[in-house]
Amino acid sequence: MREDISTTIAMDPVLSPFTGWGRARWEAVADDWLGQVRRHASAEGALPRLPGRITGDGVRREGMEAVGRSFLLAAPRIAGAADPAEPAVQEHLEYYSRALLAGTRPGGAEEWPRGVSCRLPLTGITNSIVEAANIAFSLHVSRDRLWAGLTRPEQLQIAEWLRHHARCEVWQNNWQLFPAMAEGFLHSVGEDVRGLQTHRKVARVESWYLGDGWYTDGPEHAVDYYNAWAIHPYLWAWYRMTDAVHTPEGQRYLERLHDFTASQAHMVAADGSLLHQGRSLTYRTAALAAFWCADASGASALTPGQTRRLASGALARFTAHGVGVDAPLTLGWYDAFEPMCQDYSGFGSPYLAGIGFLGLAQPATASVWTAVEEALPADRGAFTVPVEPVGWVLRAAEDGIVRMANHGSDHATLPVGEDEDRDDPHYAKFAYSTHTAPGTGAAWEDAIDSHLALLDDEGAGSRRSALRAMRVEGELAGSVHVPQLHRRALPGTAVTTVTAGDGTAEVRAHLVQTDRPWPMREGGWMVADDRGLPAGVFEDGAWAQGRDGLLAAVIGLHGWDAPEPGAAGGEAPERAQVFAYRDANAMGPHSATPALRGRTGTGDTVVVTLHVLERGGAVDPQGWRDRVRVHVDRTHVRIDWASGRRAEFDLATFVPWDGHPGLTGPRGEAR
């Protein structure tokens, strides 16, 4: 294995007592990652062929993507270098100037596609609009050095390519900002933008604002890291490029950016691990982009030292796991793991990680590179932070692991039960964390981890699908869903779930309303390792232990009576089980989930489960039981924690909902 080049640079425990990372280490990683792209470059530079898979759009799109996304990494390195004549900086300048000209030259051997119109139905290669946005953003960042160094005919050539994409109609989600990026850059350098009206697209995105700094990614309630690596950075750049940052709308945006940094900072563990939720997670450090944008604008809720500490912790965590160390960036999280990736991700996709290096655009004398680090929320110990507009509650215990109770983001579409199950493992779970990942492949088919499922006679589990309503009230979060089985909503059935947490444990209480009895199953966190996991069952629960002693356990607190024998008269399934998998989890090749089996009645059934996720603890069923006492009176639940904290709620009324079991009503009425 090639040595991680950043480790050849001395740590700085005085400037950065938490991570030891300073600017020199960031520059070393940037230069190394960019060098790997150039090592696979084509003759003119526009179509590098990196190792990895090719999507259905073909190798030309993947090469274009590799250039456009790695340019996000090169641009801040070029812009912020103290000496533009530095050899590494000159290599970046020469390569990306050459690649951009080769890719946008009409009729050239390495010409990129202009991209077909993105009006529905989409056909042909459409991702040129994505890379046009990335290139426009990067040209803005490096404008004084790369763009200024081009001849006027060269500038006009690239401008015409961008102008084409500024005219495109696109998907109703974060794609609205892609043509806006192209027009914004053209405006900023005095190019012709007559007839371009992308301010309408920016206004549309702004209309999707939820609160606390978060936007939904389109009219659906899809909330994830696209806020961090697309929506916020592109809005930030657009307001700057169009000289609108000092308008009321621009100032309002900066306030939203401020609130976002305050919220997202709680999604990073003390050891730098990022919360593992949402799609396109192979972009990794792109999740840091909004922090750099906010710092550069004086709009951050963090101090400059905190921004560097957070970003350095995340980058150090990835490089320590070998990301980008012995090969180009791969499709995966720590290791290569394609099952967690979307079908639109090819070998160039992971280089969107480069937008997370935006801090390098600031000079070495900037406060973000010179201020002594200050502690982040997870460094200070336990916290609980509700994100009410999204439907999340973020919690950390003294172990620094961050856990999310998810009762808002589902990335699903109503009506359900038409022709496909729209659930996604990175949105559909009741819980996510910085140290676990949801099950994919066979584990996703089984739908066990962090999920409550109703089971058919063959043992197939229902899906959570689109949420009908949600509510966050202080430290409590809840939601309602209509279970979907075999791509059909179950008639006469609805599930209300409320989550309450304390330390390394949380209670999930469920009200299952149904017109017939169902077998049911609830799974805990899925833990993983490089080898088989120790696991076990006990009277009322189960456990499994993964890498670094990370232990997951479930205990039935109420309503988990022993399952009845099957219809064929066979033995009843065990009340507690552990489900083990191979190659089904981004955190390691071996994974396991503890789970409980039970059965609903007809009408209202209340079940309450204790979930534990802790690091380095011993298997201690009695100790886990002693952490909490639960009292259930019909649908009213009272939770008394051993710490002295209490939570009370009525499952029948906690989440307001105008629908009733079996009906697909309007979505989001409680939002």
DSSP characters for 120-183? SSP-S--THHHHHHHHHHHHHHTTTTTGGGS-HHHHHHHHHHHHHHHT----SSGGGHHHHHHH
For residue 106, pLDDT beyond 80 = yes
What is the residue extent of each domain of the chain? Answer: 5-380, 383-623
Q: Are 5-380 and 383-623 equal in CATH topology?
A: no
172 burial via Cβ count (<10 Å: 0-12, 13-18, 19+): middle
Burial readout 189-219 (b: 16 or more C-beta within 10 A, e: otherwise): eebebeebebeebbeebbebbbebbbbbbbe
Q: What is the pLDDT of residue 669?
A: 30
Q: Which of 9-23, 405-419, 492-506 has the lowest mean pLDDT?
A: 405-419
Q: What is the pLDDT of residue 219?
A: 82
pLDDT band (50, 70, 90) for residue 1: very low
Q: What is the pLDDT of residue 5?
A: 64
Burial readout 287-316 (b: 16 or more C-beta within 10 A, e: otherwise): bbbbbbbbbbbebbbbbbbbbbbbbbbbbb
Q: What are phi and psi of 611, to 5 degrees?
A: -115, 130
**In angstroms, rounded to a whole number, what is the distance separating the alpha carbons of residues 242 and 477?**
40
Average pLDDT over residues 53-77: 95
Question: Over the stretch 154-204, which tens digit does the pLDDT of each residue have?
Answer: 999 999 999 999 999 898 999 999 999 999 999 999 999 999 989 999 999
**In angstroms, rounded to a whole number, what is the distance separating the alpha carbons of residues 361 and 296?**
9
Would you say 235 and 214 are in contact if contact means Cβ atoms under 8 Å apart?
no
If you average pLDDT over every residue of the chain, what do you get?
A: 92
For residue 244, pLDDT beyond 80 = yes
pLDDT band (50, 70, 90) for residue 419: very low
The separation between the first and the last C-alpha atoms of the chain, rounded to the nearest angstrom, is 50
Helices (H), 349-452: 367-370, 442-446
Q: What is the pLDDT of residue 491?
A: 87
Residue 551 in tokens: 């232990």
Average pLDDT over residues 643-648: 97
**In angstroms, rounded to a whole number, what is the distance separating the alpha carbons of residues 525 and 436?**
7
Residues 6 or more apart whose Cβ sits within 8 Å of residue 534: 544, 545
Q: Which of 431-435, 515-519, 573-577 has the lowest mean pLDDT?
A: 573-577
Within the chain, what is the greatest distance between any pair of CA atoms?
A: 82
**In angstroms, rounded to a whole number, what is the distance separating the alpha carbons of residues 507 and 467?**
20
For residue 207, pLDDT beyond 90 = yes
Residue 366 in tokens: 């900037």
Q: What is the pLDDT of residue 563?
A: 63
Residues 6 or more apart whose Cβ sits within 8 Å of residue 69: 131, 134, 348, 349, 350, 351, 352, 353, 354
Give residue 3's identity as a one-letter amino acid code: E
Secondary structure (3-state) at 103: helix
Residue 425 in tokens: 């493992």
pLDDT band (50, 70, 90) for residue 358: very high
Residue 204 in tokens: 């549309």
Helical axes 59-80 vs 128-141, angle rounded to 10° = 10
Would you say 579 and 595 are in contact if contact means Cβ atoms under 8 Å apart?
yes
Q: What number does CATH give the domain 383-623? A: 2.70.98
DSSP 249: H
If you search the block for the tokens 């492949």, which residue do you land on?
441
Residue 33 in tokens: 């990652």
Q: SS3 sequence, 295-308?
A: HHCCCCCCCHHHHH
DSSP characters for 404-431? EEESS-----SSPSSSS----TTTS-SE
Q: Which of 511, 424, 513 is nearest to 465 (CA)?
A: 424
Distance from the Cα of residue 452 to its chain's centroid: 22
Residue 9 in tokens: 């640079």
Q: From the CB of residue 343, how many other CB atoms can be counted at a distance below 10 Å? A: 9
Q: What is the pLDDT of residue 119?
A: 64
Question: Over the stretch 122-154, which tens digit does the pLDDT of each residue have?
Answer: 667 788 999 999 999 999 999 999 999 999 999
Distance from the Cα of residue 248 to its chain's centroid: 30
Residues 6 or more apart whose Cβ sits within 8 Å of residue 458: none
For residue 651, pLDDT beyond 70 = yes
Secondary structure (3-state) at 445: helix
Give residue 6's identity as a one-letter amino acid code: S
Tell me the range of 109-113, 534-538, 659-663 where mean pLDDT is highest.
Answer: 534-538
Give strand ranges (E) for 166-285: 209-211, 214-215
Average pLDDT over residues 441-467: 94
CA dihedral 229→232→236→238, nearest 10 degrees, is 90
Residue 55 in tokens: 């999507």
For residue 564, pLDDT beyond 80 = no
**In angstroms, rounded to a whole number, what is the distance separating the alpha carbons of residues 476 and 593?**
24
Q: What is the pLDDT of residue 661?
A: 52
- CA–CA distance from 478 to each of 3, 52, 393, 402, 451 (Å)? 47, 41, 10, 19, 14
If you search the block for the tokens 């710092």, which residue do you land on?
295
For residue 56, pLDDT beyond 90 = no
For residue 641, pLDDT beyond 70 = yes
Strand 636-641 and strand 550-558: pairing?
unpaired
Residue 287 in tokens: 């999740």
Average pLDDT over residues 625-645: 97
Q: Which residue has the higher pLDDT, 573 or 334?
A: 334
Whether the model clears a pTM of 0.85, i.e. scores above it, the answer is yes
pLDDT band (50, 70, 90) for residue 121: low
Question: Over the stretch 597-632, which tens digit does the pLDDT of each residue have?
Answer: 999 999 999 999 999 999 988 999 999 999 999 999
For residue 423, pLDDT beyond 90 = no
Would you say 116 and 170 are in contact if contact means Cβ atoms under 8 Å apart?
no
Q: What is the pLDDT of residue 570?
A: 56
Burial readout 83-98 (b: 16 or more C-beta within 10 A, e: otherwise): eeeeebbeebbebbbe
Q: What is the pLDDT of residue 549?
A: 95
Q: What is the pLDDT of residue 616?
A: 86
* Cis geometry, peptide bond prior to residue 621 (ω within 30 degrees of 0): no
For residue 515, pLDDT beyond 70 = yes
* Cis geometry, peptide bond prior to residue 121 (ω within 30 degrees of 0): yes
Residue 285 in tokens: 């450090």
Q: What is the pLDDT of residue 622?
A: 97
Percent of the chain as helix, strand, coil, to the nearest 5 = 35, 20, 45
For residue 416, pLDDT beyond 50 = no
**In angstroms, rounded to a whole number, what is the distance separating the alpha carbons of residues 406 and 396?**
15
For residue 300, pLDDT beyond 50 = yes
pLDDT band (50, 70, 90) for residue 378: confident
For residue 670, pLDDT beyond 60 = no
Q: What is the pLDDT of residue 323?
A: 97
Residue 214 in tokens: 């978060």
Residue 80 in tokens: 């912020």
If you search the block for the tokens 């676990």, which residue do you land on?
436
CATH 3.40.50.720 applies to domain 5-380: no
Would you say 33 and 73 are in contact if contact means Cβ atoms under 8 Å apart?
yes
Distance from the Cα of residue 179 to its chain's centroid: 23
